[in-house]
Structure formats: C-alpha cells, structure tokens
Amino acid sequence: MEVSHALTERTVLAGRYRIERHLAVGDVSFIYLARDMKPALPARVLVLKQYPASSTDLLQHGMLVRSFEHEADILATSSRLSIPQFFDYFTEGDWTYIAMQFVDGTDLKSLLEDAKGFLPEEQVAPWAIGICDSLQYIHVHKPHPILHRDVKPEHVILDPAGRTHLVGFAIACRYQPGQKGTALGTSAYAAPEQYEGTAGPKSDIDALGATLYHLLTGQPPSPTLPVSGSEVAARMVNPVVSMSMEAIISKAMRLNPDDRFESAKKMKAALIGLG
C-alpha cells in the first residue's frame, strides 16, 4: 500500500484497544499487536488488522471493502482452534479494523529463513497435516465453503506447542462452483487456474504442495512448475526428501486440478501414510 502505517505505541482505538507495537504489513492491511483494556474483561493481547475505509480509486475501494468483509465474515463464523478467533470490528476515522486472536509463535517463512540447511521431512510433514486439517475445515465450512487462495509459508504460524495456525484470509472468498472470480494470489504458490479466476478447493491444495516444496528445498517452486506431464522434483534440490513425499508434492501440484488430491482430507491421509 502507498500509505505508511500511522498508529504509534499507546494509541487507543474505540476507547479500549491500546496499540502495543506494529507487527507487519499485509497485502491490503497493516497489522498491530494491541491490548484490550475494556474494564469488564481481563486485559488480553490481540491482533488488530487495519484497512483503509475508503479510496479515491473505485476499483481499489471495492477490493478493500471485499477483503475486510470476507476476512471478518470468515473469522466470525470459524470455530476451529487452528484459525484465529474473531473478537470485534469497527471503523474509526479513515480506517476499518478487525480485532482477532493473537497467535503466539513463528511463521514458517521466518523458520525457513533462520534454518541452517534443509528442514527435515519428519518435522515438515506434521505441519502439512495441520494445514490439511485447516483447509478441510474451510472447504466444507457451513453455510458456505471457503477458499483461502493464499496458502504460503508466511501465512502459517507454528505455536510453541508445535500446532499450525492458518492466517492471512484477506483474499479468501466463499466458494460457488462454476462462478468466475477475481484473479488473485501470490506468484509461485497460486495454482494456474487461480489466475483465470476459476479457483476451487484444489487450488488451495496446489498452494499447499508449493508450500511443502519450499519448506523442503529452501526455495519456492518456479512459476512454470508443474509442466504438463512432468514431475515436481523436490529431490533434485534436496536428495534427502523421500520419494513418497516427492510424489505427494507432485500430485498436489498437477497442472490439471482433476489430477490433484480429491480433497485436503485425502492429502492428509497420504501424509500420515509417510510414517
């Protein structure tokens, strides 16, 4: 975004949320650590996501509104422990905010950057199983299935107990089969059909395959992978990756969605079978 984040430490919003520090910049938001100071509740640390409430660019304004509404709606209706809990949303001045659970931990992108050498497969596989659980949950979510559309290492947080938490729902959307949507995603992780606006649950599976490839090889897959008829050969970069894991990654990232895992649940079963 063109605007720099404007909130400073100890700024109080909505008469109750005190900013502790700036955490990160999202795709269309600024992210802060805050403390809820409402007298009737025990003081709790949470995350505040700050969205511009308006824009002079009508197209950008529509994207910002949709991003906020989708994320607020998804978090408000989620009851899974691996997805941050929704607390509140409000508008103040030129900004709209979502207050959500703070997940204490480290995102997988940071773990990758700090790793000395390749991450071991026996460490990565349980993370992938946890991500499969989160994806399966949103893909069969009631009343509307949800597509994440931006699965990547920085959107998975590993807490101190080793549990994965899926975050980064800014470009998530409700899934309606056959309906064409906006072409959004992150290069190297987004499935090919996502750029045609025809994302489905198997697009998230492709992104998980790309995330696994990155975690095990230390580099994101080339945007040209997978090429029709070829394998995604993680073992060419990291020979220690098992043939079974390489096959799982390759199947998840097939060019034709019909050739990928039928569901995140099926991919989870394959990962469990590694042990």
Q: What predicted TM-score, i.e. pTM, was given to this entire model?
A: 0.84
Q: How far apart are CA 214 and CA 181, in angstroms?
A: 27
Model pLDDT, residue 1: 42
Domains of the chain with CATH codes: 12-101 (3.30.200.20), 106-272 (1.10.510.10)
Confidence tier at 231 by pLDDT (50, 70, 90): low
If you count DSSP H runs as helices and E runs as strands, how many of each does the chain have, helices first?
6, 11
pLDDT at 53 over 50: yes
Confidence tier at 3 by pLDDT (50, 70, 90): very low
Mean pLDDT (whole number) for 115-140: 95
Cis peptide before 226 (omega within 30 of 0): yes
Estimate to the nearest angstrom the gap between the alpha carbon of 208 and the chain centroid: 10
Place of tokens 């606006």: 197
pLDDT digit string, tens, across residues 159-180? 999 999 999 887 888 887 767 6
